[in-house]
């Protein structure tokens, strides 16, 4: 199986360099490969992704895309490396396979694209499930969750080119982190990791290094996350979607604070104004 990063030669120019001209050396960059999803031999999607945590990716993608309602619908997963990429062969149990084949669709997903190839506006704007109450957390706990993520971003520390999604539990801290060149892929991998470990996202925080677009809200809601926090800003549609499904959306998290856009009641002392 391919490694998640490779070292490549490059030349470097720095304006503050004492010596004139270019220097040479090598840099680690993330691997990107085509990942094909098939369900009971039926083609479903091709995503450009980092080739690691692929079984987590298979389970998380199946759940957040609504192909299955639970991990129990999946019988087995085969990871097959081919010359042109990697195929994730997901075998559904008989009843679930029959339901899937009746509504299958084909999409093609470039890096970072979560809605490419969706066949209708209704599919793109599918309402996510309403999330549960979850826990009431303090601003200090939110900041602890955000600040804990960087130390576990091993691939990004090596390459400076990938997104991360993590799950932080108030009792146990940061319990899972997944990285990928695509932000949606990182979240799918995190979803799969949580489900495969027997947990849910219902009692903690999903932490994102990316902006919050509408599909990030949809995917988080599919695994029951009542609160997500991101280092970048949300889109207006993401805010409306989070509001409608009952999710607390905090974003623009910096060293000195963060901003809350929806359902502030899960954060002590929060209101519709900024938290900092």
Q: Among 86, 90, 114, 108, which residue's Cα sits nearest to residue 185?
A: 114
**Residue 183: partners with Cβ closer than 8 Å, 6 or more residues away:** 112, 163, 165, 208, 209, 210, 211, 216
Q: Provide the pLDDT for residue 191.
A: 97
Question: For the chain, which residues score pLDDT lower than 50?
Answer: 117, 274
Enter the pTM of the model. Answer: 0.91
pLDDT of 248? 97
* CA distances in angstroms from 4 to 45, 51, 53, 162, 231, listed in the order given: 21, 6, 10, 11, 24
**Nearest-10 crossing angle of helices 54-64, 183-196:** 100
Residue 247's pLDDT is 98
pLDDT score recorded for residue 117: 46
Nearest CA to 114 out of 187, 50, 177, 201 is that of 187
Asked whether the beta carbons of 29 and 79 are under 8 A apart, the reply is no
* DSSP string over 227-274: EEEESSPBPHHHHHHHHHHT-EEEEEEETTEEEEEE-GGGBTT--SS-
Place of tokens 């060293």: 255
Domains of the chain: 33-124 (3.10.20.10), 139-266 (3.40.140.10)
Catalytic residue among 113, 116, 194, 245: 113
pLDDT for 121 equals 65
Collect all residues with Cβ–Cβ distance below 8 Å to 23 and sequence separation of at least 6.
Answer: 11, 12, 13, 14, 17
- pLDDT for the residue numbered 200: 84
Residue range 5-30, pLDDT digits in tens:
999 999 888 777 656 678 889 999 99
Q: What is the pLDDT of residue 98?
A: 92
The pLDDT of residue 16 is 72
What is the model's pLDDT at position 124?
65
Residues in contact with 65: Cβ distance below 8 Å, sequence separation at least 6, in sequence order: 45
The CA-atom distances, in angstroms, between 150 and each of 153, 166, 213 are 5, 10, 21
Question: DSSP letter at 193?
Answer: H
Task: Return the pLDDT at 18.
Answer: 58
How high is the pLDDT of residue 126?
A: 77
What's the N-to-C CA distance of the chain in angstroms?
44
113 is catalytic: yes
- Spatial separation of the C-alpha atoms in residues 177 and 193, rounded to whole Å: 9
Nearest residue to 195 (alpha-carbon basis) of 76, 72, 91 = 72
Dihedral in degrees, nearest 10, Cα atoms 265, 267, 270, 272: -50
């Amino acid at each position: 199986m391919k490694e998640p990063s490779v070292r490549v030669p490059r030349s470097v120019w720095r304006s503050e360099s004492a010596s004139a001209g270019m220097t040479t050396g090598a840099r680690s960059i993330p691997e990107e490969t085509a990942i094909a999803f098939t369900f009971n031999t039926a083609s479903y999607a091709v995503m450009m992704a980092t080739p690691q945590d692929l079984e987590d990716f298979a389970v998380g993608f199946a759940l957040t895309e609504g192909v299955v309602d639970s991990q129990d619908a999946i019988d087995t997963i085969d990871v097959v490396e081919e010359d042109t990429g990697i195929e994730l062969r997901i075998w559904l149990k008989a009843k679930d396979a029959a339901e899937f084949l009746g509504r299958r669709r084909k999409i093609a997903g470039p890096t970072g694209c979560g809605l490419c190839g969706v066949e209708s506006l209704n599919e793109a704007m599918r309402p996510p499930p309403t999330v549960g109450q979850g826990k009431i957390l303090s601003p200090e706990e939110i900041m602890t969750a955000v600040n804990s993520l960087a130390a576990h971003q091993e691939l990004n520390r090596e390459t400076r080119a990938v997104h991360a999604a993590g799950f932080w539990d108030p009792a146990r801290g940061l319990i899972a982190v997944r990285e990928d060149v695509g932000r949606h892929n990182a979240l799918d991998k995190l979803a799969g990791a949580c489900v495969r470990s027997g947990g849910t996202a219902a009692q903690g925080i999903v932490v994102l290094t990316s902006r919050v677009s509408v599909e990030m809200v949809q995917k988080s809601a599919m695994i029951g996350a009542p609160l997500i926090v991101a280092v970048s800003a949300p889109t207006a549609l993401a805010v409306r979607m989070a509001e409608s499904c009952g999710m607390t959306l905090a974003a623009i998290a910096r060293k000195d604070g963060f901003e809350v856009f929806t359902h502030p009641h899960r954060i002590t002392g929060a209101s519709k104004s900024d938290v900092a």
